[in-house]
Amino acid sequence: MTSMPQAVLRFAPSPNGELHLGHAYSALFTAEMARRLEGSFLLRIEDIDLGRCRPEYEAQIYEDLAWLDLTWEMPVRRQSEHFGDYRAALDTLAGLGVIYPCFATRREIAEAAGGAFDPDGAPLYPGIWRDADAGEVARRIAAGEAHALRLDSARAIKIARGFGRPLEWPSFEFVDGQLRVTALMATPERWGDAVLARKDTPTSYHLSVVVDDALQGVTHVTRGADLLAATDLHVLLQTLLGLPTPLYTHHKLITLDGRKLAKSAGDKSLRALREGGATPAYIRSAIDLRDEP
């Protein structure tokens, strides 16, 4: 009899602000899933956005999570220390001919998108630079003009389908204490030609998360429902890069009076709640972890 491989889960916050109840939910949910799966719990610091991430926020992440009585395996992976890994993935994609430089500004994209949006609500990039003149591209690069690298999604999907691996991902949940896995079809085309390396940083959320989950051997991804659509793009990248697809679950987003917490201003941070006398037990009851799973 072969034994099940060890489950590996991760909580992956960005140190660009203070953690709030939504993060506490995600971290405690992940730890609870790791417990059920008898797996390990990793912490990953997603700090590719060098302009917005701050060391003091990172220090506070450790403090907040320790206060919630969470423990994680060492060493912690900090994405800003691994740009070379993301570069290598971009090289692989370039070798497949599925990325291209894009010099367009936000305004040009918004104007050209014609009212179409990607699942994040950003104007859908209409392929402005996809078939650009190679000489013009080379001239701009030589002149040092800032550019993003975008996925040629139609070509990428065609190539991925040719690999004979279905573009789908396994969704997991516990039902009556039993792990249930359902395969869901991915439709990455709704992201259009997504940015894989930004103008201001040589990678993107989508690329780094896919590379890191594979490098860290993550078997079960647990994250908020706001990232559900992103999984379709992640599966496409995993297929192109020859990386395994983990199992996924997208948990509910914590709301306060019906408002989404993560994006609304003025929501109390865990630090503020702690300083106001809240206990970890209060936090657990406030987010109602028992609700789910």
Binding site for ligand GLU (CB under 6 A): 12-14, 46, 209, 223, 227
Beta carbon nearer to ligand GLU, 48 or 124: 48
User: Hey, what's the torsion of the CAs at 137, 142, 144, 150, to 10 degrees?
Assistant: 30
Q: How far is the CB of 44 from ligand GLU (least distance, A)?
A: 8
Beta carbon nearer to ligand GLU, 18 or 108: 18
Beta carbon nearer to ligand GLU, 234 or 274: 234
CA–CA separation, 57 and 32 (whole Å): 24
Q: How far is the CB of 223 from ligand GLU (least distance, A)?
A: 4
Q: How far is the CB of 93 from ligand GLU (least distance, A)?
A: 19
Beta carbon nearer to ligand GLU, 52 or 161: 52
In the numeric block, which tokens belong to residue 204? 């993107």
Beta carbon nearer to ligand GLU, 14 or 245: 14
The tokens 């993003």 sit on which residue? Answer: 148
CA–CA separation, 31 and 23 (whole Å): 12
| Nearest residue to ligand GLU on Cβ basis | 223
Which candidate, 156, 175, 30, places its Cα nearest to that of 95? 156
Beta carbon nearer to ligand GLU, 44 or 274: 44
Q: How far is the CB of 16 from ligand GLU (least distance, A)?
A: 8
In the numeric block, which tokens belong to residue 16? 């660009």
Q: How far is the CB of 224 from ligand GLU (least distance, A)?
A: 7
User: Do residues 71 and 39 lie in contact, with contact meaning Cβ atoms separated by under 8 Å?
Assistant: no
Q: Dihedral of CA 67/276/285/283: which sign? A: negative
Q: How far is the CB of 227 from ligand GLU (least distance, A)?
A: 5
